[in-house]
Amino acid sequence: MDGERLLLLDQRRLPDEERWVDATDPVVMEDCIRTLAVRGAPLLGVAAALCLGLLARAGATPRAFREAAGRLRAARPTAVNLMAAIDRLTAAAPGDDLSRVDGIAMDVFVDDVARCDAMAAHGAALIADGDGVVTHCNTGGLATVGVGTALGVIRRAHEEGRRVHVYVDETRPLLQGGRLTAWELRRLGIPHTLITDSMAALILRDGRAQRVFVGSDRVARNGDFANKVGTYALAVVAAHHHVPFHPVAPWTTVDLGCPDGAAIPIEQRDGDEVRGAAGSFGAVRWCPRETDAYNPSFDVTPASLVTSLVTDRGVFSADDLRRGALSALDG
Ligand code: MRU
């Protein structure tokens, strides 16, 4: 951001091309969100907030501002960070006064960096020297404006000098693990091995990984949480093999208005994402064009499968979650 323009690293083109998109225009930002040029729950909130901040600074009318806020808010339904960030901005713009919006947008940015640091500090203590860990989707610097959520925890343990080996689920259907997490880990110099999602069971059975860390798009009041589809299967497999399983999420991902996982809205995406794959290499389809395909972008993992939830406000054990510890921290 240079004060007038908002540039996003286009995540549709990674890992092969590092191309930046100008998403200052809210119409472009909306398209970037829908098509996952920008993605990851915390980053969605920050990107939308910065876009609206620039719009207000550029002198948009209150009506244009509210229309843009409404469109961005509806661009993806599951990550509550998107709605929370936009609601924070609109609450700061009562009536026709947009003068505070820009400053609040910067606060959303700065908050995310601090929350990532706090999660990393709390979560890294769970990782011992020599541990293998499994992770799913992408939860690092590409999904936040800080060090990340689950990947930030792993990164901190590595930076503190502990030897960690990361097993990266490729994360079908859009391959955020293979395309993005592998790209980040390589740049950070953290040892890692790419696996298909279906191999995680073997990795855990064979004792190659001692913990699982994942992110979240929305945590319900009772500790159930939504994350990239495939997380639930990973949690079941981890429980079967008695491997500790930890979602890592900033408080901006906790939705106390949502009683449990059944109330979390799950984004349904186009079946073509399952029928094949598209990327900087082009597009392929591996089944008949007419094949029916099911494509929920997220699934819900029940709190009963969580060993502990790592947040910027501390670590909550399964018992804490059962006792309603999240709602006790309301406000
Ligand atoms: O569809 P995506 O790529 O936006 O999904 C992202 C995830 O599921 C992440 O795990 C989640 O947002 C937590 S990231 C910090």
The residue ranges of every structural domain in the chain are: 7-114, 121-328
Backbone dihedral angles phi then psi of residue 218, each to the nearest 5 degrees: -165, 130
DSSP secondary structure letter of residue 285:
E
Ligand 1 in reach of 41 Cβ (< 6 A): yes
Ligand 1 in reach of 144 Cβ (< 6 A): yes
131 contact partners, CB below 8 Å, separation of at least 6: 157, 162, 163, 164, 165, 209, 210, 211
Task: Give burial (CB, 10 Å; 0-12/13-18/19+) of 95.
Answer: exposed
Ligand 1 in reach of 234 Cβ (< 6 A): no
Ligand 1 in reach of 40 Cβ (< 6 A): yes
Expressed in angstroms and rounded, the spacing between residue 130 Cα and the centre of ligand 1 is 27
User: Do residues 104 and 65 make contact, with C-beta atoms less than 8 angstroms apart?
Assistant: no
Expressed in angstroms and rounded, the spacing between residue 58 Cα and the centre of ligand 1 is 30
CATH classification (class only), 121-328: alpha beta
- Selection from 112, 113, 224, 227 nearest residue 177 by Cα: 227
Backbone dihedral angles phi then psi of residue 27, each to the nearest 5 degrees: -65, -40
The pLDDT value given to residue 249: 98
Expressed in angstroms and rounded, the spacing between residue 119 Cα and the centre of ligand 1 is 16
DSSP secondary structure letter of residue 248:
B
Q: CA-CA distances (angstroms) from residue 124 to 133, 150, 298? A: 12, 10, 26
Residue with token string 């909550």: 316
Task: Give burial (CB, 10 Å; 0-12/13-18/19+) of 124.
Answer: buried
Ligand 1 atom closest to Cα of residue 214: 10
Ligand 1 in reach of 216 Cβ (< 6 A): yes
CA torsion, ordered 145, 146, 151, 152, to nearest 10 deg: -170
Expressed in angstroms and rounded, the spacing between residue 139 Cα and the centre of ligand 1 is 6
Q: Identify which of 184, 227, 274 to mutate to test ligand 1's pocket (most ligand atoms within 8 A of the CB).
A: 227
Q: How many residues does the structure list for the chain?
A: 331
Write out the catalytic residue numbers. 217
Q: Which amino acid is at 2?
A: D
- Selection from 218, 237, 236 nearest residue 227 by Cα: 218
Ligand 1 in reach of 228 Cβ (< 6 A): yes
User: Do residues 248 and 119 make contact, with C-beta atoms less than 8 angstroms apart?
Assistant: yes
Ligand 1 atom closest to Cα of residue 44: 4
What residue ranges in the chain does DSSP mark as E strands?
7-9, 20-22, 131-135, 164-169, 192-195, 211-214, 218-220, 225-228, 245-247, 254-255, 276-279, 282-285, 298-301, 308-311, 314-317
Ligand 1 atom closest to Cα of residue 253: 13
2 contact partners, CB below 8 Å, separation of at least 6: none
10 Å Cβ neighbour count for 250?
A: 28
Expressed in angstroms and rounded, the spacing between residue 137 Cα and the centre of ligand 1 is 6
User: Do residues 121 and 156 make contact, with C-beta atoms less than 8 angstroms apart?
Assistant: yes
- We find that the CATH architecture of domain 7-114 is Up-down Bundle (1.20)
CA torsion, ordered 24, 26, 27, 28, to nearest 10 deg: 30
Residues of the chain with pLDDT under 70: 1-2, 280, 331
Ligand 1 in reach of 297 Cβ (< 6 A): yes
The pLDDT value given to residue 3: 72
Expressed in angstroms and rounded, the spacing between residue 143 Cα and the centre of ligand 1 is 7
Ligand 1 atom closest to Cα of residue 39: 4
Indicate the pairing of strand 218-220 with strand 225-228.
Answer: antiparallel
The pLDDT value given to residue 253: 98
